[in-house]
Amino acid sequence: MRILVTGGAGFIGSNLVDALLDDGHEVAVLDDLSSGRESNLEDARARGAVLHRADVREPDQVSRVVAEAAPEAIFHLAAQIDVRKSVADPAYDARTNVEGTINVLRAAVDAEARVINVSTGGAIYGEADVIPSPETVEPLPEAPYGQSKYCAERYVGLFGRLHGLRGATCRLANVYGPRQDPLGEAGVVAIFCGKLQTGERPTVYGTGRQTRDYVYVGDVVGALRAVLAKEDAAGEYNVGTGVESSVLDIVEALAPYAERDFEPVFAPARLGEMERSCLDVTRAREELGWAPTVDLAEGLRRTVEWAARVGA
């Protein structure tokens, strides 16, 4: 199958590209390399993947790439993911996450391609009353980032009703694993792994008892492949583990890998940070036949070993 991955030079996207090539697909990547790394695709390009440097905010660029790649399916991962930047400049956030998605959807309609949209779970649900949160929980984003990703999801549905587009969305929990940049807008696992490499102590904001659902990138890729395999997949699918882990749990699990003191340095809580977030993955398990296979301890081990190997 011919497949286009927007944001394919990024952390999750490049891992997905590798897996799609393993599956025998013909893969093209659309990425402006503003946060993605060309080096993430070095092996993939040697295996035939084609990189198109383009910006999802520019409709003519998106249309050109889609016309050239002629994909049968598009994985849409290109996004603005910095929550703080979304608060400081919500219009910029919306141009990337809402307008960018519209540009991809319009091009997909012209190409008659399926779209598998990649979204966020915790940032969309906000402070949910039900934890783990199923897809039926009312989205109440607490930052423009979550709001823009929710709007993008609604446009996937709209294009289905208006143009017959076949689309589905995966709402991801807190993804971690190889290729996540500890210096970028990364999750706590990547940041703490970076501290391991530099011999620094991790900074914990607030009590450290805030919980998240940490899902290994390989499991996320497995879920995306499961959606691709299900021709009639539609709507939203949570992708996580259904297990809450605190920031202090992460510190404790990483401490044995430290060569120096890894006791956390506590700092004041950050404004607006959620106390709990965890996804119910029942729908993905029942409809896609997918379930996570890598627990937190094993995922952290793999991530630390990768970081040590590349000097991240």
* pLDDT tens digits, 176-222: 999 998 766 568 999 999 999 999 999 999 999 999 999 999 999 99
* pLDDT tens digits, 199-210: 999 999 999 999
**The one catalytic residue among 145, 176, 237, 257:** 145
145 tagged catalytic: yes
Return the structure tokens found at 216: 């290994």
Portion of the chain with pLDDT greater than 90, in percent = 92
pLDDT for the residue numbered 84: 86
Inter-residue contact 285 to 243 (CB < 8 Å):
no
pLDDT for the residue numbered 268: 94
CATH topology of domain 2-174+216-239: Rossmann fold (3.40.50)
* pLDDT tens digits, 66-120: 999 999 999 999 999 988 899 999 999 999 999 999 999 999 999 999 999 999 9
Stated pTM of the model: 0.96
Instruction: Please give the angle made by the CA atoms of 119, 125 and 128, to the nearest 5 degrees.
Output: 155
For domain 176-213+243-310, the CATH superfamily is: UDP-galactose 4-epimerase, domain 1 (3.90.25.10)
Tell me what the mean pLDDT of segment 41-57 comes to.
Answer: 98
pLDDT for the residue numbered 68: 98
Residue 286 has pLDDT above 60, yes or no: yes
User: Measured between alpha carbons, how far is residue 14 from residues 28, 40, 47, 78, 217 in Å?
Assistant: 11, 6, 13, 12, 10
Portion of the chain with pLDDT greater than 70, in percent = 98
Q: Where are the domains of the chain?
A: 2-174+216-239, 176-213+243-310
Same fold across 2-174+216-239 and 176-213+243-310? no
